[in-house]
Amino acid sequence: MVSPSIPGGPTPPSDDQINGVYATYVPHDLKYNGDFEDSLIHAVLDSDGTANQGVRVIPDDSDEQPQDGVSVRASDISLASLPVITEDDLPLPLNDPRRIFASPVPGIKLTHPGGYLEGGPGLDPDMDTFPEDFFSRNSDVNNMAELRRAVQTEVDEKVEELKERLRARQKAKEKNEQIEKELRALVDQHYMELKIQRRMADEQRAKREAKEKRQKAKEGGG
């Protein structure tokens, strides 16, 4: 299982996190990027699960055999093969070719096993307070199977939180677009009204001038 890093949450523990490459920042530190946020809406909410979700990382204690281009064992991933991505590079577009690993969120691939959804590696364990917080909430966990179930439950909750946030953003975005559409219609209507007013004024002026001309001609002829 690949550890997720849902924006706004810490990095959950994972037995297949690749050691040696870590971030020293959290998603909240990253600069805001509206286009990236909008791309998440389409990728996450519109994903039907049929698209390529990336290479899945298999824990070293699993009996599952890796499949070329589909899955890879954690210990077979070379640190030197992972891309070097700085905080200033983030967030990476979702179609960035360095995104190759599967994430817990359908429609989003990671650049590093256990990395951030924004791209880059996961948080340095020395800075991560998630394990302490996690075990304080799950003190009844006694073995690896229970641990993995508890982690998956929390992952599912975080994914749903992400979806709810994106639904709210999508709704707000649609509302803003509707308001902008209505404003454009009002502006167009106002422009048309001004155009009609100018035409009516021109016609009135032309009639007045024609009347004055006829009056002068009549007076001159008399």
pLDDT of 69-90, one tens digit each? Answer: 899 998 899 888 899 998 999 9
Mean pLDDT of the chain: 84
Whether pLDDT at 127 is above 50: yes
Mean pLDDT in residue range 55-66: 89
The alpha carbon of 177 is separated from its chain's Cα centroid by a whole number of angstroms, namely 18
- Provide the pLDDT confidence category of residue 51 given band limits of 50, 70 and 90: low
pLDDT for the residue numbered 18: 43
Give the span between the Cα atoms of 81 and 112, in whole angstroms.
10
Alpha-carbon span 53 to 31, nearest angstrom: 26
Judged against a pLDDT cut of 80, whether residue 137 lies above it is answered with yes
Task: Tell me: pLDDT of 179 over 50.
Answer: yes
Q: Is pLDDT of 4 > 80? A: no
| Interval 99-120: pLDDT, tens | 999 998 888 999 999 899 999 9
Residue 41 has what DSSP assignment?
A: I
CA distances 202 to 38, 178, 181, 199, 211, Å, are 49, 36, 32, 5, 14
The 3-state DSSP class for residue 71 equals: strand
pLDDT of residue 169: 92
> Between these two residues, 4 and 185, which has the higher pLDDT value?
185
The Cα-based distances of 47 to 42, 51, 53, 130 in angstroms read: 7, 8, 10, 29
Looking at residues 184-201, what average pLDDT do you find?
92
Residue 20: per-residue pLDDT: 43
Average pLDDT of span 148-158 = 87
Structure tokens at 46: 């519109």
Task: Return the exposure string of 181-216: e unless at least 16 CB atoms fall within 10 Å of the residue's CB, then b.
Answer: eeeeeeeeeeeeeeeeeeeeeeeeeeeeeeeeeeee
Where is average pLDDT lowest: 9-23, 145-159, 194-208?
A: 9-23
* pLDDT at res. 201: 92
Query: What is the reported pLDDT for 82?
Result: 92
Q: Where are the domains of the chain?
A: 27-174
Catalogue the E-assigned strands of 41-176. Answer: 56-58, 71-73, 101-102, 109-110
Q: Which pLDDT band holds residue 221 (cuts at 50, 70, 90)?
A: low
